[in-house]
Each structure stands twice: as structure tokens, then as C-alpha cells.
Amino acid sequence: MSADEPTKDIPCEVVENLGAAAITVRKECTPTEQNPPMAVGNHISTPTAPRFHPPPTTFWSLRARLPQRRISILGIVGALMFFGLWETGHYFLPAEKARFLPTVEDVFKTLFYLFLDKGYTRDVLVSCYRIFVSFFAACIIAVPLGIGMGCFASLRALVNPTASGWRYLPATSFIPLLLVWFGPTDLAKMGVLWIGVLFFLLALVLDNTEAVLPELVEAALTMGASRKEVVLGVVTRAAAPAIMDSMRNMIAVGWTYLVIAEIVGANEGIGAVMMRAGRFLHVDIIMAGILTIGILGVLTDVAFRLARTYLFRWAVAQRG
Amino acid sequence: MKDTIHPNPGENVVEEDLSAIPVRVDQVTKQYFGDKFTAVDNVSLDLKENQITAFIGPSGCGKTVTLRLIAGLEYPSFGRITCFGETVRGPGPERGMIFQAYTSFPWLTGLENVAYGLKINGVGKEEREEKARKMLKLVHLEKFEKTLPKEMSGGMKQRVAIARTLAQNPKLLLMDEPFGALDAQVRWEMQEMMIEIIERERKTVVTVTHDIGEAIYLADRIIFFTRQPGKIKADIPVEFKGGRRYPRKEEMMLLPGYVELETRLFAMMREEIHGRVS
């Protein structure tokens, strides 16, 4: 029945004959005096009962969904508590030891002083260059190789036993070797960062590739996909968001190797500045260096997260 | 049963013309772990053109393995499978498959997903999109051309997968518990949609299910598998439907013969569950 038909005589019960059995189907109701309007379709009734007050969300509410405002406030409070603890530490230490734990404002002042008077910008840029170039060099090998190993069992069998062994070798133990080979060059420093990232990234990419739903591959195969299409068009695309997450986690590891990599024979870079400061007991400079690495690390993390959200809008939320 | 497959056991089977038979499973055995586990034990069967066949049986009876062997996703240990006379040596677009897991590619929109199979087989953009639109309409998703799978319900994702498979116009449609992951009401809706589509597109279909009601509603022929080793226990033509397909499930349920068949299959299933130690 259409909407512009007269509504007065429409019966509420419409009987439909289905085969042998007569089944009564309630099809459409017209609001009349006998049939008051019901909460059906897009008609939402006005609540008549008093509002129900659930127990309020407290700090210890189990797995509660917090409003964004409260999440932000708690985050800021947490950071303030950390700086407060640090500041308190300074004032509780005896005077002769207090200079080994400078105040928060001293460290920030030193940071500005470094940037303004000591050419710290160049050190930061040199460190960033070392991190990003060595990380890129690790990705160029680990990502295609990991995907390949996830797709081809023979390649995996060929590479994996050796690569797994490498993961147990501390990257720092290669510093003497790299110094003998390359001298106190950038190559030696980036070599440490590269070794530190490469083999773990390879293991993670392999994992991400193997986690691709086998049915996606099988579906592509039953549609006549070539091997190349399966590897590049299905497996790589399906694993890409997870690989991006692995890269984000591994560049964090790269940052943690920075100071060690810049320990020997470096006169530029955040690590070099910190090591030099250490020799003269400039605790404020060391802490400013740590703070710099922390800030740069967070910025890298945010950049990777944004890139992932932008590049893989089709994917569901990320882990970690 | 065996007689219909090898009318004259003495004759050389190779000389028989198989090109009119959609699928012949010829004395197929599938073993795993060397020969330690036999999943499919010497199974032979022929499928008829434009028929819907349901493989049914308890879990671990080899019904899914048999389907995967027909799809070419696995190879038999012994015997041979032919599809319109061609020996199956791997998967191919003429044997379209629908899986229980949602296989619509999450990085492609509804339309791109349906066009995917055509794209990788070299069909031009305009032609494949026109075809994909038609297929989306067939599964009642014409309004979701630009929607990503993450914004779709399970039933919608599965309809995209069905449209994508059909877009390639496969000679054979293989379905591995296609509605197993869906809730009861959506499953029933999908069954009716499937009947509508198969009736329109005239397909030879094999569907694997453990849902007796679904098997009776969809199939023209039900093949009941028994467990460990996987053999055919019974080959049951669904005669009470009189060769008709019913767009509404309840219409079919009212037919005389429905309850008898359902009861018979339930009894067989019970026998399978309690009759063996596993």
C-alpha cells in the first residue's frame, strides 16, 4: 500500500497465504484511537521514566571508557607528577650532591643555551641524519626480504636460521670491528644502528607477512591471480599496516642505540655532545641530551602514526 | 553409486568423454603427514551441470578437503579430479570459491573488490566496473560501491565476496561454509539471496555446510560424508522439491517430504556422532 492512500479503513492484520498454512503477518499499523502510535520505525518516543543514573566512573573503574577530556587531563597530571618528583629530588639532596641532579628549569635552560650558543641544531640534525639513513638502509633490506620469506618457504628456510642467530648478537659488540673497518666515520656509526635494527625488523616483517589471512591468498588464487599479483597485490598490501607498525617500533630501538653509536670518535651528534659533557661533569647537558632524544623519539612515533592513519585509511585501529 | 561413475568397470576410463561433466572426482584419496592420516578415502563422484550439491557431515569428515581438492587449492594423494574434462592442477578462475572467512580485500571498496578478479585477468576499467556494478546489484549492495569492508557488516562482506566470485562468470561455484560465520537471521537471508542468484545465473554449485536446514533448502543433491576416514555415507537426491527452487524458505518447509528428509539427516548425523569413538 502506498502512503497517499486513505488511511481510515486499513486493517491492522494482513493475512498472507503461504502454501498450505495461513500465517498472520502484522504488516502496517495506522495510528487511530484504538491503536495509539507505537515506537516503531523512525518514530522515537519521549522518555516518560525518570533518568537512570549509573554508578559514576571512578579512577579504579574496570576498563572504563573515559571521555577524551579526562584522558588529556590525566596525561598532563602524570607528566607533572614526573617533573615534580624530579624537582623534589633536587631540593631533598644535600647541597654538594644537588648539582648532580639539576632542576627541571635548569635542564630546559641548558637546552635553550645549547641551541642558541653552542650550535646544537647541527648536532641534532647530524644524529637525525644517521638514524634515518641507517633505518632506511635496514628497511630496504628487511621489508622485501621479510615479505619474501613469508611468501616463499624455501627463501625462509634459506635465510631464517642464520638471521635468527644474528638477533642474539649485541649490535654494540660490532663497534670495535666497525671502527677497524671504517675508522671513525659516519659509516661506522650508521653500521651499528643498521645492525641493531635490521635483524629484529626482519623477524617482525616475517611475522606480519605470515599473519595475513591465508584465505585472502587463496581467494586471489581462485580468481586466477599470478604469483606476482599474490605477493605484491595481496600479501604486501594486506601486511602493509602491520609492517608500518613494526617499523615504528624498530625506529624507537634505533634511537636507543644512538648514544652508543656516537660514543667513539664522534665530534658531532647528540651522543657526542653528551659524552663530552660527561667528561666535565656537566649533568645538565647530559640530561638535556636525554630530553632531546626523548622529544625526537616521540615526534618520530607521532609521524609514523599519522602516516599510517593517512596511508591505510582502510585498516582498522593500530596496535601498540 | 559406483555404477553411475564407472558404467563399465572393465573399460578404459580415459577414453570416456568427460567434457560435459562439470566435476568428476575419480577414486580420490587425500593423506596428510605422509600416509599417517587419511582425510578423504577413495571418494568418487560426478557432479551434474546446473545442479546444487551440498556436502554435509560431521566435522572432520573430509567434506571441506574434498571441496578444496576440486578448487585446486590442494592436490589429491591418489586419484584425479577433472573439471569439464580438464585435470585439476591448481586453482583457476573457472572454479570460483567462496570462503567462510571474510575474504573481501579490506583495502578495496565494494566496487573495486568486485572488479578485482576481472582486473587481474586484464579486463579494461570501464568494462570491469560496469560488470561489477551489475554484480553488486545482484547481491543488493548497489549503494555500497564506495564503502570499505571495515564499514560493512559480516553479511555485506560476504555478499561482496560472492559478487566478486560471480563477476568472473565461473563455470563452477564452490562454497566452503559460506554463511557459517553469520548470525541466524542473516544466514537465512543469504540463503534466499543465493537461491535467487543461482536460479538467475544458472550455475553448477557445490556448497559445504554442517547446517542440515541449509543443505535441504539449497541443494538438489546432498552428499553425506562419514568420518575418519572420510568416505561418502549416502548420496541423497532432494526429490520432494520436485526440481524447483523456492525463493522463500518457509514455502519449501511446508512441502510434504521436508520433515522426513530433515529427520533422516538428523538421524544420520546422530549415528555419526554416537556410533564412533573418535
B128-175 pLDDT tens trace: 999 999 999 888 888 898 999 999 988 899 999 999 999 988 989 999
Minimum-distance CB partner of A222 among B91, B105, B254: B91
Q: Does B110 touch chain A (CB under 8 A)?
A: no
Looking at residue A197, its pLDDT comes to 94
Q: Do B97 and A219 touch (CB under 8 A)?
A: yes
Question: Stretch A90-118: mean pLDDT, rounded?
Answer: 89
Indicate whether B278 pLDDT > 80: no
Mean pLDDT score across all residues of chain A: 85
Indicate whether B211 pLDDT > 70: yes
Query: And the C-alpha cell for A154?
Result: 624455501
Which residue does chain A place closest to B246, by CA atoms? A19
Q: Do B107 and A237 touch (CB under 8 A)?
A: yes
Q: Do A19 and B95 touch (CB under 8 A)?
A: no
Which residue does chain A place closest to B170, by CA atoms? A223
Entry pTM: 0.82
Q: Does B165 touch chain A (CB under 8 A)?
A: yes
Which residue does chain A place closest to B149, by CA atoms? A314
Question: Stretch B38-50: mean pLDDT, rounded?
Answer: 88
Minimum-distance CB partner of B93 among A23, A223, A233: A223
Q: Do A218 and B97 touch (CB under 8 A)?
A: yes
ipTM of the complex: 0.87
Counting every residue written for chain A, the total comes to: 320
Looking at residue A16, its pLDDT comes to 45
Looking at residue A25, its pLDDT comes to 44
The minimum CA-CA distance between A156 and chain B, rounded to whole Å, is: 21
The CA distance from A261 to A189, in Å, is: 5
Q: Do B164 and A218 touch (CB under 8 A)?
A: no
Which residues face B29 on adjacent strands?
B78
pLDDT digits (tens, 9 = 90+) for A217-253: 999 999 999 999 999 999 999 999 999 999 999 999 9
Cα distances from A117 to residues A108, A111, A113, A123, in angstroms, run 14, 10, 6, 13
Contacts of A218 in chain B (CB under 8 A): 73, 91, 97, 99, 103
- Most confidently modeled range among A46-55, A97-106, A196-205, B197-206: A196-205
How sure is the predictor about A27, in pLDDT bands with cuts at 50, 70 and 90?
A: very low
How sure is the predictor about B1, in pLDDT bands with cuts at 50, 70 and 90?
A: very low
